[in-house]
């Protein structure tokens, strides 16, 4: 991680932050339709989401996510102490550098196998992979987030099998040096520019995630939180180079893995609600009708809710309006039909069936593309290959990548 990249990423995040839009849909025509519905109910509405509501409710009629409470003061103190410990480890690494470029860039090629494993596995414990996984899985579905650690784990294993030992054998300081030795200075410069740009985007994503955590814990704005996060990282990375990064990774990966497993276990054991069952449906606007508008997708669901013959679709079963929404209409049991087949915590066929999430879209193409891009694109990642260069031997580099890929899949 280079000082210039850190500063550029901080500036990029700060410039881009005010440009984020709060609109619910990218298609303005479709959003205009839902905005019109909201304005029929309240003429004062000018945009979505409406005040006190959210996109899920205004577009899909689904309940808004529960607001998280502010953290207790002791939590911020605990996080602050941990950050200070990480910084102390990173700053202490300054004494191992000794003014030598080899020590700064590749930790003197001295990293033992256990450090290589943990420092590579820790690459999945960052804002992009770890928090991005949780965020995308929560917003969409399981595999929409899980593709991130799957892609990273795949990349580590591929790197270990095919490249890591060769990278270590080259005895260079940076990844572009390898291109320079084999293909000349022009290729080395082009590779340097490409890796800097790609790593800048990765670093910006991590700074945004770190800023979100710092802002939540300490109650500062997003931009201020991003700069605080960047300056903390800059302080110990600039002083100790890869020595500081590798040995803070060891502590951070241990804390992160234990924390992730503990939180996952707690969430699973304390989950209050199962996934929603198949939708019961909704009635017509005429209280005297027998069948509602909602048509059940199969006989099993129709039997579950005692569906009746549909008025306009012979042979199909619809919402039993007389049973679930009597004529007075005050005690209706109904929903918006969002889950015709029911929801599940994990759809096993999400990565093989494009319509597995019907009626919601399944981003199956983008999920496979994410795995492919991460799996093969990260073979040229600066952070992965720097750790391979710093391993004591080619065997340590190879084994470290392969064993580091396992925790990446798990987390």
pLDDT at 392 over 60: yes
* Tens digit of each residue's pLDDT (9 = 90 or more) over 8-63: 555 544 444 444 344 788 788 888 888 888 888 788 888 888 888 888 888 877 77
Of 199, 225, 224, 220, give the one whose Cα is nearest residue 210. 225
CB atoms within 10 A of CB 19: 6
Q: Which range has the worst mean pLDDT, 53-62, 71-80, 290-299, 321-330?
A: 321-330
Q: How far apart are CA 371 and CA 377, in angstroms?
A: 10
Read off the tokens for 208: 């945004």
Q: What's the whole-model pTM score?
A: 0.76
pLDDT at 164 over 80: yes
* Tens digit of each residue's pLDDT (9 = 90 or more) over 184-208: 999 999 999 998 888 888 888 888 8
Torsion of CA 168, 174, 175, 181, to 10 degrees: -80
* Tens digit of each residue's pLDDT (9 = 90 or more) over 229-242: 888 888 777 777 88
Read off the tokens for 303: 């039997």
């Amino acid at each position: 991680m280079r000082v210039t990249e850190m500063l550029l990423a901080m500036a990029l995040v700060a410039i881009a932050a005010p440009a984020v839009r709060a609109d619910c849909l990218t298609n303005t025509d479709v959003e205009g339709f839902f905005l019109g519905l909201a304005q029929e109910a309240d003429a004062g509405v000018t945009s979505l989401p409406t005040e006190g509501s959210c996109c899920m409710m205004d577009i899909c009629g689904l309940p808004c996510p529960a607001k998280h409470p502010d953290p207790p003061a002791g939590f911020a103190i605990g996080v602050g102490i941990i950050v200070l410990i990480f910084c102390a480890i990173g700053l202490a690494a300054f004494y191992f550098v000794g003014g030598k470029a080899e020590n700064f860039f590749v930790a003197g090629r001295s990293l033992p196998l256990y450090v290589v494993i943990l420092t590579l596995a820790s690459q999945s414990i960052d804002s992009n992979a770890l928090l991005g996984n949780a965020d995308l899985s929560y917003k969409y579905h399981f595999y929409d987030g899980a593709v991130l650690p799957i892609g990273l784990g795949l990349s580590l294993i591929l790197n270990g099998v095919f490249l890591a030992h060769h990278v270590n054998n080259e005895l260079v300081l940076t990844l572009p040096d390898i291109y320079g030795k084999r293909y000349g200075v022009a290729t080395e410069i082009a590779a340097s520019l490409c890796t800097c740009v790609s790593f800048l985007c990765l670093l910006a994503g991590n700074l945004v995630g770190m800023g979100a955590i710092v802002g939540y814990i300490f109650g500062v704005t997003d931009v201020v939180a991003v700069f605080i996060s960047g300056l903390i990282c800059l302080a110990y990375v600039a002083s100790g180079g890869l020595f500081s990064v590798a040995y803070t990774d060891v502590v951070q990966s241990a804390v992160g893995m234990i924390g992730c497993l503990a939180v996952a276990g707690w969430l699973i054991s304390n989950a209050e609600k199962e996934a929603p069952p198949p939708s019961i449906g909704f009635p017509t606007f005429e209280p005297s009708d027998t069948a509602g508008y909602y048509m059940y997708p199969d006989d099993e669901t129709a039997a579950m809710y005692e569906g009746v013959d549909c008025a306009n679709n012979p042979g199909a079963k619809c919402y039993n309006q007389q049973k679930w929404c009597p004529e007075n209409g005050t005690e209706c049991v109904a929903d918006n039909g969002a889950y015709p087949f029911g929801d599940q915590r994990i759809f096993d066929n999400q990565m093989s069936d494009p319509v597995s999430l019907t009626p919601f879209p399944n981003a199956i193409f983008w999920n496979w593309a994410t795995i492919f891009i991460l799996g093969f694109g990260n073979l040229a990642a600066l952070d992965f290959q720097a750790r391979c260069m710093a391993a004591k031997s080619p065997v340590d580099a190879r084994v470290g990548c392969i064993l580091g890929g396992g925790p990446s899949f798990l987390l």
